[in-house]
Structure 1
Amino acid sequence: MTALTENRSDAPAREFGGRPFGTGTLAVRGCESLTAADAPRSVLHDPAEPWSPTNCYMDVWIGLTAVLGLDPVPMLAAAFSADFLGDQWEFLKPRQEDIEELYGLMVGEYDTWRPLCEHLQCAMSRGDALIVEVDAYHLPDTEGVSYGMQHSKTSIVPLRLDPAAGELVYLHNDGVHVLSGADLDNTLGPGARSGMVPFPYVELVRLDGMHRLAPQELWRHGVELARAHVRRAPAESPARRLTAAIRDELPVIAERGMDYFHVYSFATTRQAGLTAGLAAHACRYLAEGAEQWPGDLGIMTLLEAAESLDTAAAAAKTLQFQLARVARGRTPRIDASAEAFVTGYDAGMAAVRRALGSGE
């Protein structure tokens, strides 16, 4: 592995004759005429949502399923098994096996042994999608946060590439955007080789087996996935362990200031809050299905769970604001919001277990 990396780094840059992306228009299947203006948008990316955008990986999956005409909500069952890892809340991702079961999309790591723009041509010419790790410094949709200001890794999905116009329509965060010129070159073209992510982590999403299940069948698969994730859920409250760790970290936040707060809160309160919010959406989806197709699910209990988890999501945002005050040298007053998060999260997860027949 080391030798391969060294060979890549030492190899001279390949000359592309000014056409690194070829000459023909490339698109993910179903996105041949897609524009940023007419791209479908999931309700999960409603600006009114307290944690939208969520995290870069969950966002591209919400966006990709939406543009493919699929319902992203069933895959949110992964939120039920989230855990606190000691120094950070688990970075929420839909599980690959869930995505394949629900949508027929096959996901796997993709080795970029050639220039990235060549792999992009290969995958998109088949109608497949790539989830690509890039530098947000070159993404115009991050203006005011990262664009031209700060180098940070994030994930995008190229949807439609027009080499003649020099434009790429791509998914990132909570929307569909356009990339062009030097930004395109430095993100996916030859310029990326000299940037922050010269050899990105890339996943291939194969669309040849994609299916659209009937609503009732999709819901039934969602129920079974939700039960499986509840069985994986940690026995000891991750919410309580998170808030205990935050209390221990308060002196460090106060000492290190706002730069530290931003990275710390992203790994803790933000991930916890978005997990609670997306779990609430999953609960409402399960409840709505149970009303249409009666069975053994507790509808009212699921709605109670959604309400508790929404409360937890809001409390996590309040807690994050209070941590910012600590970073600015203010007296920490986090007890009420920390306890509100714990109470809402634990009550919500207990209700989910009862509703799905998984006990207390």
Structure 2
Amino acid sequence: MTAVTESNGAAVRTEAPFGTEVLAVRGCEPLTAADVPRSVLHDPAEPWSPTNCYTDVWIGLTAALGLDPVPMLGAAFSADFLGDQWEFLKPRQEDLEALYGLTVGEYDTWRPLGEHLQLAMSRGDALIVEVDAFHLPDTEGVSYRIEHTKTSIVPLRLDPLAGELVYLHNDGVHVLRGEDLENTLGPGARDGRVPYPYVELVRLSGLKRLPPRELWQHTIELVRGHLRRAPDSGGAADGPAQRLVTSIREHLPELAERGMDYFHLYSFATTRQAGLTSGLAAHACRYLAAGAAQWPSDLDAEQLLEAAEAFDAAAGAAKTLQFQLARAARGRTPRVDTSAEAFVAGHTAGMHAVREALGLGE
């Protein structure tokens, strides 16, 4: 798409990759980066906020739409250790549709990305887009103009004439301008780390706002489904928490050999994912407990609060374990036994208590 301007009396055609109209996700039209609602899950006091880029944009998007993101966290209870990494936590598409009426699916980017962005936002829909963090100013000091790495964002409001995009990334809402905008979502993206990004379309046409009690009841059934598919957490050698720490112990010599660059990659895939999953599981437990205290049900609110405390302990232990892995990567001798055992104990106790609270105990 192009725009025509005049320069010294001659017609000049210039690219307008985002068109000329102000566009926004439905319900986000008046929002600025300063007034987008923020979830408690993105409180700076949270030990694992930001979480991971995909879960973060869903936390941010649901909060921006005036929805409670906590009910969508059921997938935290079915996360597993996959041998070389803890499962990357993502809200499940079927959960998002059941709770909020939001439908999500892969979106084929067969045209320039800017055109797809215009079309989706003109309908009020949202796109979750993989981009190169090298061009995201909110990653200053980490990736911005330093390192090319993939991450996910959600554009909320686009003003092409002002050259500004309000977008969600990590635990905040930010503004992208000028050259950074061109290189992230415009023609310049074709020359970057993510020339053909993976994109998901979030359709808002079916958006629903369930009454609090009905939302809570839906959440109970979704959590039960996740608990039924969850791996064994009985504390035996085949439980996910135990398998993680066993793998970490075996990996300590390689960390010492390969240093800090390797540590950052390794810890993101292991202790970080395990810690944030545990922390979000704790929030889900407290949400279920609050409902059980308010409305009649067969849930045990006290056991749910015990589960939340256990998951919080696991999240904290994973943070300590991550610090100790950094010591190993610097060539020091880490003492990981206490934190490793605390993570296993917390995660195992949390899973046991939430199963019991929801009537799924053995």
CA 1:28–1:149: 2 relative to 1, 3 Å: same
Give the structure 2 partner of residue 263 of structure 1.
265
TM-score using structure 1 length: 0.95
Give the structure 2 partner of residue 297 of structure 1.
299
User: Pick from 95, 103, 108: which aligns with 2:105?
Assistant: 108
**Partner SS state of residue 204, structure 1:** strand
Give the structure 2 partner of residue 214 of structure 1.
211
Deviation at 1:278, TM superposition (A): 0.1
1:140 maps to amino acid: P
Structure 1 segments (4+ residues) deviating >4 Å? none
**Partner SS state of residue 288, structure 2:** helix
Cα distance in 2 for partners of 1:34, 1:137 equals 26
Deviation at 1:18, TM superposition (A): 2.7
Deviation at 1:332, TM superposition (A): 2.0
Quick one: percent identity of the two aligned structures? 79
Q: Which runs of 5+ in 2 are unaligned?
A: 1-11, 233-237
Give the structure 2 partner of residue 168 of structure 1.
165
CA deviations 1:216-248 (Å, max 9, x no partner) are 000000000010000010024110000000001
2:176 maps to amino acid: L
Give the structure 2 partner of residue 251 of structure 1.
253
Give the structure 2 partner of residue 331 of structure 1.
333
Matched, 1:120 2:117: yes
CA 1:138–1:161: 2 relative to 1, 3 Å: same
Give the structure 2 partner of residue 11 of structure 1.
none
2:59 maps to amino acid: I
TM-score using structure 2 length: 0.95
Matched, 1:18 2:18: no
CA deviations 1:96-142 (Å, max 9, x no partner) are 00000000000000000000000000000000000000000000000
2:280 maps to amino acid: L
CA deviations 1:7-44 (Å, max 9, x no partner) are xxxxxxxx982311000001000111110001100000
Matched, 1:63 2:60: yes
Considering only aligned residues, what root-mean-square deviation do their CA atoms show, in Å? 0.9
1:128 maps to amino acid: D
User: Pick from 34, 45, 52: which aligns with 2:42?
Assistant: 45
Cα distance in 2 for partners of 1:261, 1:198 equals 28
Matched, 1:228 2:228: no
Q: Which runs of 5+ in 1 are unaligned?
A: 1-14
User: Pick from 309, 312, 332: which aligns with 2:311?
Assistant: 309
Give the structure 1 partner of residue 351 of structure 2.
349
Give the structure 1 partner of residue 187 of structure 2.
190
Cα distance in 1 for partners of 2:343, 2:147 equals 31
CA 1:16–1:297: 2 relative to 1, 3 Å: farther
